[in-house]
Structure 1
Amino acid sequence: MHEERLKQMNAQLDRISAPMHRMTALMINSAERMTDFQLKAAQKYSHLAFVQWRDALEVRDPQSLQGYLEKQNRYANEYSRCLSEDAEALADIGQDFSSQVQRVMQQNMDSMTEAARRANIQMNEQMEKAEKTAEKTAEKAADKSEGSSGRRRSA
């Protein structure tokens, strides 16, 4: 009986803590994705900056300056493209996170509803047992009362 109670308590603890575990796992995964995104973005933008700096070192005359300025236009377009892609990637990460949070919250609501339903069933079962016990106790008391009053009358 003690083992059964322990198993029930562990099961209840699992049901209670499962939503927190799911949400924590989701947050960790999201933080990891954002960190990966930021590291890749930092690497990409720093690479573009270093390339530009190296190109600037090559400017020695008006002709090389002209070539450098033309490259700057291409770099500006490249930055713009990268920023657009990164904004889209961030939006995707945000939408994915949002949908996962909604899914986890729905699972949590479902599990909470199920837990409440089970608790209600258990409470009803316990109430029925208590009522039956009370009825039996009342019957026994009535029987004893009738038995003792019947003995008094015959005496």
Structure 2
Amino acid sequence: MNKAAEKNTQQLETIFVSPMRSYTNAALDYYDQAMSAQLDAARAYADMSVAQMRVWLEVKDADSLKKAVDSQQKAAGDMVERFKNDAEKLTSLGQTFAQESQKMAEQNVKNATEVTQKAATEVTQKAANQ
């Protein structure tokens, strides 16, 4: 009886527990990386905004106004480039996670099929021996 319980536990581990653990680990890694990328982006946007506010506080004459406008244009270009890079990074993270999830699902189906076929074979052999 102990051997049968051990076998059932092993099958449960192979079919459900291990795949769930693998998926949860991959999901946590994805969310950690995505959250980190978003926090980095938020910090960069805040830093750019504060820097621009400081530039505008220094406007005292026509020359400093021109510098502020030029700085604003450069900052806008930098911000657009940053948005683009951040979007690409998050898209890449999402695609990688989706691909990993698909591979895990395919492997889990394969493993479950093998375990089920093996169990069916054993049941058939036991029935034939009785």
Calculate the TM-score normalised by the size of structure 2. Answer: 0.91
Following TM superposition, the consecutive aligned residue runs of length 4 or more in structure 1 with deviations greater than 6 angstroms are none
Distance apart, 1:28 and its partner CA: 0.9
Name which one, 1 or 2, has greater alpha-carbon Rg.
Answer: 1
| 1:86 equivalent in structure 2 | 86
| 1:5 equivalent in structure 2 | 4
Separation (CA, whole Å) in 2 of partners of 1:25 and 1:67 = 50
Matches for 1:125-140 after TM superposition, within 5 Å: 125-130=125-130
Matches for 1:1-155 after TM superposition, within 5 Å: 2-15=1-14, 16-130=16-130
How high is the sequence identity, in percent, across the aligned residues?
Answer: 26
Q: Deviations over 1:26-67 (max 9, x none)?
A: 111111111111111111111111111111111122221111
Structure 1 unaligned segments of length 5 or more: list them: 131-155
| Alpha-carbon distance change, 89 to 25 in structure 1, aligned in 2, over 3 angstroms | same
Distance apart, 1:126 and its partner CA: 2.1
| Range 8-17 or range 64-73, more displaced | 8-17
Structure 2 unaligned segments of length 5 or more: list them: none
Separation (CA, whole Å) in 1 of partners of 2:109 and 2:5 = 25
Q: Which amino acid aligns with 1:43?
A: R
Separation (CA, whole Å) in 1 of partners of 2:99 and 2:78 = 31
Separation (CA, whole Å) in 2 of partners of 1:91 and 1:41 = 14
Q: Deviations over 1:11-35 (max 9, x none)?
A: 1221131111111111111111111
Separation (CA, whole Å) in 2 of partners of 1:85 and 1:25 = 26
